[in-house]
Amino acid sequence: MHNHFDLFGLPPAFSIEGEALERSYRDIQSKVHPDRFAHAGDAERRASLQWTTRVNEAYRTLKDPVQRAKHLLELHGVDVAFETNTAMPPDFLVQQMELRESLEEAKTPNALDEMRKTLRQEKAALEKQIGNAIDSKKDYAGAAGLVRKLQFLDRLDEEIDSAYEGIE
Partner 1 sequence: MALMQIAEPGMSPEPHQARLAVGIDLGTTNSLVATVRSGAPVVLPDAHGRPLLPSIVRYRPDGRVEVGYAAQARQAEDPKNTIVSVKRFMGRGVKDVAHLESAPYDFIDAPGMLQLRTAAGVKSPVEVSSEILKVLRERAEISLAGSISGAVITVPAYFDDAQRQATKDAGRIAGLNVLRLLNEPTAAAIAYGLENAAEGTYAVYDLGGGTFDLSILKLTKGVFEVVATSGDSMLGGDDFDQRVFCWVVEKAKLAPLSAHDMRLLLVKAREAKEYLTFHGEARITARLSTGEFVDVVLDTETFCSITQTLVQKTLGPVRKALRDAGLSAEEIKGVVMVGGATRMPQVQRAVGEFFRRDPLNNLDPDKVVALGAAMQANVLAGNKPQGEDWLLLDVIPLSLGIETMGGLTEKIIPRNTTIPAGRAQEFTTFKDGQTGMSIHVVQGERELVSDCRSLARFELKGIPPMVAGAARIRVAFQVDADGLLSVSAKESTTGVEASITVKPSYGLGDADVERMLRDSFEHAREDMHSRALAEHRVDGQRLIEATRAALAADEALLSPEEKNSILAAVAGLEKLVPGTDHRKIKKAIEVLNRATDEFAARRMDAGIKRALAGRKIGSL
The residues binding partner 1 (CB under 8 A) are 7-9, 20, 23-24, 26-35, 38-44, 46-49, 51-54, 56-57, 59-60, 161, 164-165, 168
Contact in structure between 135 and 127 (CB atoms under 8 Å): no
Residue type, 79: D
Minimum distance from CB of 6 to partner 1 (Å)? 10
Give Cα separations from 22 to 17, 51, 132 (angstroms).
9, 17, 23
Minimum CB distance to partner 1 smaller for 91 or for 110: 110
Contacts of 76 (CB under 8 A, 6+ apart): 140
Minimum distance from CB of 152 to partner 1 (Å)? 18
Query: Of 150, 129, 6, 145, whose CA–CA distance to 79 is shortest?
Result: 145
Minimum distance from CB of 28 to partner 1 (Å)? 5
Minimum distance from CB of 137 to partner 1 (Å)? 29
